């Protein structure tokens, strides 16, 4: 029934940072929305307001909905350590993707659902139950992210380095199947770098203020001239304020931070030269130290091991992934190294991966 080229299947990939949705057979997703959702009401609001009406949760999904400040709106993520744990938020993301993004009836289209390579069996069962019982999909296929990335590059066997927002994984794929034994997973990823960049700025003396976009208002002061005024919103939830701050930091990280082409040594340390960037409030901040030192944590996370004991670097361990495979697939997976993920654009480069994954 669903074999052949005329399958009108939908593709959904719920990631730790962004949720992608689109149609099978197309090159890119149609819609990309944040995986974090805004929540109004719930038990937290009922406890603070003392009202039973506030106990009903209302989810706000999508970039436009999250860009508007609302008193009492808190931010929640569907993921914990790279695995879906908040199923109410995941259901809200799927419903928004179907109704508001794709404008499709889920009962009329088969669904290809991407999942992490380390996704446990209970999470797969819960996702399958949600797809069939809640959305009434006619057919469902769960596929690993690493396998889909390898197929998209025209490879059936490869070593896939997925540098996402919440986790970094090195996965060996052989003939379209994930080898779970040599799989390596690390929490050092894009979101952690954004948090460290924000903490680095806050630890300066004096610390430059990081004003989210919702607090800024422009005023015309003359022909072609504008001034930016900072507004205060006392009813803003702390989680929303921090989420919007991290969005500003994320833009700075993606435009400023880079990986060094050569690993630092005692005789040749990382370069620390002035590198200024303008924030949304038109203030200029110098990111000389953070520009190269923060991305280096992806390869040498030793400063973080005191805080996070299970934080192995991604690329230094990449050669161990093929060695964990059987001999008949070891060479094949090591010959094709693919990089993908939301954080491999700015902080990663082919030269940086090649220096840590020698042939």
Please give the C-alpha separations between residue 296 and each of 2, 100, 255, 314, in angstroms, as whole numbers.
46, 39, 16, 11
Is residue 83 a part of any domain in this protein? yes
**Which domain, by its residues, includes 275?**
190-298
Q: What is the pLDDT of residue 8?
A: 82
pLDDT of 186 above 90: no
CATH number (domain holding residue 54): 3.30.420.40
Same domain, 200 and 131: no
Same domain, 217 and 278: yes
- Rounded to whole angstroms, the Cα distance separating 49 from 46 reads 5
pLDDT of 335 above 80: no
Same domain, 228 and 122: no
Task: Give the confidence band of 313 by pLDDT, cuts at 50, 70, 90.
Answer: very low
Is residue 61 a part of any domain in this protein? yes
Number of structural domains the chain divides into: 2
Is residue 305 a part of any domain in this protein? no
CATH number (domain holding residue 272): 3.90.640.10
pLDDT of 322 above 50: no
pLDDT of 70 above 60: yes
Domain finish residue from 263, 279, 298: 298
Domain finish residue from 281, 298, 315: 298
Q: What is the pLDDT of residues 44-65, one digit of tens each?
A: 654 555 555 546 889 999 999 9
- Rounded to whole angstroms, the Cα distance separating 61 from 59 reads 6
pLDDT of 76 above 50: yes
Q: What is the pLDDT of residues 134-168, one digit of tens each?
A: 999 999 999 999 999 999 989 888 888 888 888 88
Is residue 359 a part of any domain in this protein? no
Give Cβ neighbours of residue 159 (< 8 Å, ≥ 6 apart).
170, 171, 172, 173, 318, 321, 322, 333, 334, 336, 337, 338, 357
Same domain, 133 and 211: no
pLDDT of 359 above 60: no
Give the pLDDT mean for 102-108: 93
Same domain, 19 and 121: yes
The pTM of this model reads 0.85
Q: What is the pLDDT of residue 299?
A: 79
Q: What is the pLDDT of residue 222?
A: 78
Q: What is the pLDDT of residue 33?
A: 95
Same domain, 119 and 234: no
Is residue 5 a part of any domain in this protein? no
Q: What is the pLDDT of residues 188-233, one digit of tens each?
A: 888 999 999 999 999 998 999 999 999 999 888 778 788 889 999 9
Give the pLDDT mean for 173-191: 87
**Hey, what's the torsion of the CAs at 101, 102, 105, 110, to 10 degrees?**
-130
Q: What is the pLDDT of residue 48?
A: 58
Is residue 86 a part of any domain in this protein? yes
pLDDT of 321 above 60: no
Is residue 234 a part of any domain in this protein? yes
Domain finish residue from 94, 110, 138: 138
Handedness of CA 79, 85, 86, 88 (dihedral sign): positive
Is residue 33 a part of any domain in this protein? yes
Arithmetic mean of pLDDT over the chain? 83
Same domain, 123 and 214: no
């Amino acid at each position: 029934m669903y074999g052949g080229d005329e399958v009108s299947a939908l593709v959904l990939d719920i990631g730790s940072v962004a949720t992608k949705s689109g149609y099978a057979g197309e090159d890119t997703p149609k819609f990309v929305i944040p995986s974090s959702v805004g929540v109004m009401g719930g038990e937290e609001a009922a406890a603070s307001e003392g009202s039973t009406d506030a106990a009903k949760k209302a989810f706000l999904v999508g970039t436009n909905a999250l860009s508007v400040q609302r008193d009492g709106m808190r931010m929640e993520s569907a993921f914990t350590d790279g695995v879906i744990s908040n199923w109410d938020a995941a259901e809200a993301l799927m419903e928004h993707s179907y109704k508001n993004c794709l404008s499709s009836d889920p009962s009329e289209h088969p669904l290809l659902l991407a999942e992490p390579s380390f996704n446990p069996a209970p999470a797969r069962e819960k996702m399958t139950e949600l797809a069939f019982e809640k959305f009434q999909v006619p057919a469902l296929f769960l596929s690993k992210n690493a396998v889909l990335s390898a197929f998209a590059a025209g490879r059936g066997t490869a070593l896939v380095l997925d540098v996402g927002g919440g986790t970094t994984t090195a996965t060996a794929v052989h003939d379209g199947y994930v080898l779970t034994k040599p799989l390596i997973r690390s929490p050092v990823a894009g979101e952690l770098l954004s948090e460290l960049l924000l903490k680095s700025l806050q630890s300066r003396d004096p610390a430059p203020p990081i004003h989210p976009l919702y607090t800024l208002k422009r005023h015309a002061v003359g022909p072609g001239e504008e001034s930016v005024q900072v507004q205060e919103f006392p009813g803003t939830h702390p989680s929303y304020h921090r989420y919007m701050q991290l969005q500003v930091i994320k833009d700075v990280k993606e435009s400023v931070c880079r990986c060094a082409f050569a690993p630092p040594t005692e005789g040749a340390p990382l370069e620390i030269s002035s590198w200024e960037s303008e924030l949304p409030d038109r203030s200029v901040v110098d990111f000389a130290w953070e520009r190269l030192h923060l991305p280096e944590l992806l390869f040498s996370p030793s400063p973080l091991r005191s805080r996070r004991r299970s934080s192995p670097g991604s690329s230094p361990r990449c050669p161990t992934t093929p060695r964990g495979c059987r001999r008949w697939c070891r060479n094949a997976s090591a010959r094709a190294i693919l990089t993908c993920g939301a954080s491999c654009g700015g902080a990663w480069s082919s030269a940086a991966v090649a220096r840590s994954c020698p042939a």
